[in-house]
Structure 1
Amino acid sequence: MAYRYATERRDDSDLGGGNVLYSAPGHPGFPVRLADELFQRAAARLGAAPFVLWDPCCGSGQLAVAAAMLHRDRLSRLLATDTDPAALSVAERNVGLLSGAGLAERERELRAQAAEFGKPAMVERADAAARLAERLRGLGGDLDGAVRRGDVFHPAEPERPVDLVLTDIPYGDLTRFSGAPPDADPVPALVRALAAVLPEHAVLAVTARTRKVALPAGVGALERVRAGNRAAVLVRAGDARG
């Protein structure tokens, strides 16, 4: 089945570069255009929207929140989980921006900083928050979101069935994951663990800074994507179960 996704050009800079979304040390931002493309490729493999989106390695939450901000009209819920308490505290702030109240507070914060420090860049970031609030209203308004502590290798079954997993594997030595299999690429085990708590129809889109994202032996990819120094794989949950 060939995928179909929108290719219109638009300015998504308000979501990038730490303009509005909060950042955390050690959790660099994810390219917004790639997040958009992967979401659309995965969504094209699913049935009718709305979907529940889950990022099980969410870090600061920028990837999931950017995708949700772009596609609010196709989502009913966002779930973000990670094992790092510091990252989760930032993710909670970013998921809070998926509401009019959260964006209004962020705009006020940025305008206060602009007045205090006299930096025009802060005014531009405040204006970006206002534009994102307008976009969110136009796509359906506030989105239900939850941030939880969770181990991707021993995930709890989500409270509501998840349709789409979108996640970026943390940089560096992947075996630093707690619960990762020793002396082996942990990504196949990660995919198996997630697939076990997902409905068969769900699609996982997994990215990493590598030449090719590994899948469990015998599991075929729906498709593979390369973008700069990142690789991504899309796989059906039902195909990835042990």
Structure 2
Amino acid sequence: MAYRYATERRDQSDLASGNVLRSAPGHPGFPVRLADELFQRAAARLPDAPLSLWDPCCGSGHLAASVGLLHRDRLSRLLATDTDPAALSIAERNLALLTRSGLADRERGLRADAAELSKPALLERAGTAARLAERLDGLGGDLGHRVRAGDAFAPVVPEHPVDLVLTDVPYGGLTAFSGAAPAGDPVPALVRALAAVVPGHAVLAVTARTRKVPLPEGVRALERVRVGVRAAALVRAADAAA
């Protein structure tokens, strides 16, 4: 069966990390265009209905928040988990931008900082927050979400059934797994663990800074994508569950 998805070339600079979405040293953003493409590729393999999204290695929440703001009309809810308390603190603030009140607070804060620090660039960022609020309203308004601690290697079944797992995993020595990560190459074990706690129809879209995302033995990817220094693999949960 052929799967089709449609993309449009659009300016996504409003979602750049550090513009309105927050960043911090050690918690980098994710390429927004790639996040957009991976979501659309995965969503094309799922029912044409609102989808529940889970990022189990959410870090700062930049990937999850970007997808939420881009595709509010395709999403019913969003879950973001991580083992790092510092990352979760940033993720909570970024995922709050999936609400009108969160974006309004961000705009007010940027305008206040612009006045106090005499930095016109902050006024531009405040205008970006206002544009994102208009976009969110046009796509359906506030998106229900939750940010909590969670170990992707020993995950609990999410509170709501998940249709799509989309995550950028630590890989290649740039950062480290924590929690129940196994010795050796941890990514195949991560895929197995996540596939075991989501419905069989769910799609896992896993990306990392590597030439090829390794999968569990015997598991075939629905498709693979490579962009720049990142590679991604899309897998059906039923095919990857042990």
| TM-score, L = length of structure 1 | 0.97
- Structure 1 stretch displaced more, 221-230 or 165-174: 165-174
- Structure 1 stretch displaced more, 170-179 or 43-52: 170-179
- Secondary structure of the residue aligned to 1:29 is coil
Question: 2:198 maps to what in 1?
Answer: 198
Deviations 1:137-166 (A, max 9, x none): 000000000001000000010010000000
Question: 2:60 maps to what in 1?
Answer: 60
1:176 positional shift? 4.0
Contact 2:17 2:23 in 1 (8 A): no
Contact 1:175 1:186 in 2 (8 A): no
- Secondary structure of the residue aligned to 1:96 is helix
Question: 1:170 maps to what in 2?
Answer: 170
Distance across 1 between alignment mates of 2:134 and 2:176:
42
Give the AA of the match of 2:105: E
**Is 1:210 matched with 2:210?**
yes
Distance 1:47 1:196, change over 3 A: same
1:111 positional shift? 0.4
Matched-pair identity in %: 75
1:24 positional shift? 2.4
Please list, as runs of the form range in 1=range in 2, the aligned pairs for 1:119-198 lying within 5 A after superposition: 119-173=119-173, 176-182=177-183, 184-198=184-198
1:120 positional shift? 1.3
Please list, as runs of the form range in 1=range in 2, the aligned pairs for 1:12-161 lying within 5 A after superposition: 12-161=12-161
Aligned residues: 241
1:10 positional shift? 1.2
Contact 1:175 1:181 in 2 (8 A): no
1:178 positional shift? 2.6
Distance across 1 between alignment mates of 2:25 and 2:217:
35
Deviations 1:4-37 (A, max 9, x none): 2222111111001311001122111100000000
- Secondary structure of the residue aligned to 1:97 is helix
Distance 1:26 1:62, change over 3 A: same
Distance across 1 between alignment mates of 2:6 and 2:70:
12
| TM-score, L = length of structure 2 | 0.97
Give the AA of the match of 2:110: L
1:83 positional shift? 0.2
CA RMSD of aligned residues (A): 1.1
Moved over 4 A (4+): none
Distance across 1 between alignment mates of 2:205 and 2:217:
17
Distance across 2 between alignment mates of 1:220 and 1:73:
30
Distance 1:178 1:126, change over 3 A: same
Question: 1:4 maps to what in 2?
Answer: 4
Give the AA of the match of 1:180: A
1:60 positional shift? 0.5
Distance across 2 between alignment mates of 1:228 and 1:34:
10
Distance across 2 between alignment mates of 1:175 and 1:138:
38
Contact 1:163 1:202 in 2 (8 A): yes
Distance across 1 between alignment mates of 2:179 and 2:140:
38
Unaligned runs of 5+ in 2: none
Question: 2:232 maps to what in 1?
Answer: 232
Unaligned runs of 5+ in 1: none
1:175 positional shift? 6.0
Give the AA of the match of 1:38: L
